[in-house]
Amino acid sequence: MNKLRARARLFASPLPVKILNSISLLPSCLKGCCYHLYIKREISIMKIVRHPHIVRLHEVLASRTKIYIILEFVSGGELYDKIVLQKKLPEIESRRYFHQLIDAVAHCHSKGVYHRDLKPENLLLDDDGNLKVSDFGLSALSQQGVDLLHTTCGTPNYVAPEVLSGQGYDGAAADIWSCGVILYVLMAGYLPFSETDLPTLNMKINAAEYSCPYWFSPGAKSLIEKILDPNPKTRIRIEEIRKDPWFRRNYVPAKLGEDEEVNLDDVRAVFDDIEDEYVADQSEKNDDGPLIMNAFEMITLSQGLNLSPLFDRRQDYIKRQTRFVSRRPANFIMSSIEAVAETMGLNVHTRNFKTRLERRTGHRVAQFAAVLEIYEVAPSLFMVDVRKAAGDTLEYHKFYKNFCAKLENIIWKPSESVGN
């Protein structure tokens, strides 16, 4: 599923309320028209679910090769980063975020939308510290006459046991399980289910085998126990969560505006307009070298109009997507990446100037994966874009630091002369 997802480019506009995402229509992970369908579904869902605690999609535009989506500007970063920084959050603060999460998820379900990838990395914070649910790339829409979903997706540590079983599941109950894991992580600072191999992890999730730290209050423990019920039929529902005494403490429901009529005509028009142009563009694509990145695309990768993080890794706070610059030839960069990856025990899959690095434990699903792609940003200047594709974000942080340390000989630093 992740192979079919769009690559988002963030551009902070002069207006403090918006960011502009451009989704490149490149065929490296394309399987026929499915690529367009998945992107179209995600954009449509974001227009349908309008709520104070969900990242708002304002408009959809298109050029010949890209789709641009104008989103609400959420500047506070990921909730995950706050947990990493503070180790764990106080119960009163955790409960406030949980209030907002449940309100957002309840709204999604009322619109027939199931997120299916709820985790702290997909929960953003605004300037006022309010939670905003994002990343609907794995979400599903309910279909008339279809009661159960069947696609196994999401992040294993947050996924409900019935999703792992592959026997069909209720999307609402599965999202509630993920909310329970998030509440546990907020208060504990670590996962309730965390194993190095998938079979053991699945076994513990199926048995709901976990224990709460001593600092959890009896009310929090009781609610988490009702949420992390491995039987989806007896698992607590959102309306029951809202009646729970621990949940109701200081609970102020989100204020919803009038239910706006959602018009998806612009989404349909965008995809109708780009289809023919996209096919023609791909037939002319040259695979002899890295993709060439223009000035606007470089800016969209930066923090607003500040390009320094692209060239000075000391300013580049490690996120799920990171990058470095090199003046070495593209083929040399790629061979160096492959060699370093092999010394780190990673499986390497290269096509043209894009590489996927994976760590497996003898099973089909990669425990950890990163994707690297080389772009030419100027003559003899290349940017390597690195993204987490699977696994825990903290593990990706460690991987990126270690990986770059082993590639110091090819990474260009601003202090170096142009001739170096």
- Residues annotated as catalytic (active site), given as ranges: 117
Other CB atoms within 10 Å distance of the CB of residue 207: 11
Q: At what angle do helices 171-188 and 218-227 cross, to 10 degrees?
A: 150
Specify whether the CB–CB gap between 360 and 366 falls below 8 A.
yes
Return the amino acid letter for 201.
L
Return the amino acid letter for 332.
F
119: buried, middle or exposed (CB in 10 Å: 19+, 13-18, 0-12)?
buried
Residue listed under structure tokens 């649910």: 133
Give the closest residue to 306 by CA, choosing from 28, 12, 7.
Answer: 12
In the DSSP assignment, the letter for residue 7 is P
Measured between alpha carbons, how far is residue 388 from residues 106, 137, 234, 369, 385 in Å? Answer: 29, 15, 35, 6, 10
Query: From start to end of 239-296, where are the E strands?
Result: 291-292
The span from the CA of 209 to the CA of 136, in Å, is 29
β-partners of residue 125 are: 131
Please give the structure tokens belonging to residue 277.
């142009």
Q: At what angle do helices 79-86 and 171-188 cross, to 10 degrees?
A: 30
Backbone angles phi, psi at 359, to 5 degrees: -120, 120
Helix count and strand count (H, E) for the chain: 14, 14
Return the amino acid letter for 379.
P
Element (H, E) at 370: strand 368-378
